[in-house]
Amino acid sequence: MLAFSYTSLLEIRNGMEMNLAMLLIVLLFYLLTRKSIGPGHLFLAWLVATILLATRFESPLLLAMLAIGLYFDFEQRPNGPSHRVLFLLAACTLVSFGLIELWRHHEFGIWMPNTVYAKEWPPYSRWHGKKSLVLWVAATIITIEVIFTMISIPLLLMLAVVANSLRRKRADFASLRRVSNAIWTLTAGALAIAWITGKDWGYPGRMVVPALPFLLLAMVAVCKSALANRSQLTMLLRGMVVAQAILWLIVAAYGSKPSISIEQVRQVGVGAEDIRTDLQEPTLDVLLPDIGGSSLYNEHLRIFDSALLSNPELAKLGWVYFAKYFDKIHPDVFETHSLWASYQDAYTSNLLDNYSIVGAAGRRFFVRNDLFARLLADHRGKIVPVETSPSCLGGPLPADIAFSRSRKTCLMLFPDASATD
């Protein structure tokens, strides 16, 4: 599995939980495909399933696919676990799911994670508008492309071995019947989730990660059926691992890198914190997209998500409500750019009439005019033409730059304001 861990490294860099989901589903598969399942194994399986439910909201689909595969496994194993074990585990897991949902509704007033509501709106949703069919086809192509990239070398080796065995009439595909049905059903479930969600905003193939272990197990099963000689099989599997590891090294060295790094996202919070420090305020209300890094690193900022994902109010009501929401919270500092500004109608409405541009930590901010006047009065920066500072121009889209140019000047904060006192 380590040879196929490049996606796991991407997930770590993305700061998200898909690795945990993959580990939990593999552990659950291991616990429930043993020859005998005792009370201890059943309790552990219920515990793992509960943690999985709390980790990823789409996990009920994976659990359902696992249950379907195990049901047929138990049918084929007269001396194995009874169906009562499966039904008992399913009942306990449903209770856990119900308790999680009740807690979520009690704490947040919603039955589903906020991201589920948010992804009903663009740019996350691909099922709205005239381009739905095109995006549906694109999502299917992306899913297939990502899977092939992830396992291309072992897949080609497997196909070569199978073709050779068929040519020599040595393949024993009847042995595939001994492979757990749960491998096939879990693979199908993980791929279905990847297809439904389409292109992920973290990195390509993120939603395919839970399918990887079972795709690999399926390929091993096919190779075992094609190679009766155990030494040849061992050599083949070693070759797969080495080949895939070399492929990931090449991808890591020469493949495409994320266009936006976590450090770049965190700089938004750094800039807002610089503004707060210069104003000598105990806290500031800051409205911005990409809140993860800023929220984690800046405890003195009250950060509101303008990109819907962590904002229950906007997630439910969508972009048409954004102007009213903006007036409601009346943010001290606002950061927006590119597609977010477009969806927010920030440049073409009167949304920013009471805000002025401030450049801080290499980023463009819109600071409410009463606070902007205080920064000027306290000599916390220098008024400069926006053309002279990339921070003031914003970007990366022409609309960002054009709007900044319409304001003509901005306040560039001094790097160390205390040195100018």
Strand partners, 288: 305
pLDDT of residue 406: 93
23-32, 224-233, 381-390: least confidently modelled range = 224-233
Pick from 305, 220, 239: which is nearest to 268 by CA?
305
pLDDT of residue 91: 93
pLDDT of residue 417: 42
pLDDT of residue 138: 63
CB of 208 within 8 A of CB of 150?
yes
- What is the 8-class DSSP label of residue 409? E
Cα 133 to Cα 129: distance, rounded to the nearest angstrom: 9
The model's pTM is 0.74
Higher-confidence residue of 217 and 45: namely 45
26-30, 118-122, 227-231: least confidently modelled range = 227-231
Long-range contacts formed by 170-174: CB under 8 A, 24+ apart: 170/226, 170/228, 171/225, 171/226, 172/225, 172/226, 172/228, 173/225, 174/225
Average pLDDT score, the chain: 82
b/e for 248-267, b at 16 or more Cβ within 10 A? beeeeeeeeeeeeeeeebbb
pLDDT of residue 305: 93
Q: Checking DSSP bridges between strand 301-305 and strand 333-334, what pairing results, if any?
A: unpaired
Structure tokens belonging to residue 248: 């990931």
Long-range contacts formed by 204-208: CB under 8 A, 24+ apart: 204/142, 204/145, 204/146, 205/7, 205/146, 205/147, 205/149, 205/150, 206/7, 206/10, 206/11, 206/14, 206/16, 206/18, 207/18, 208/7, 208/143, 208/146, 208/147, 208/150
Enumerate the H helices of 128-229 as residue ranges.
Answer: 132-168, 181-197, 212-226
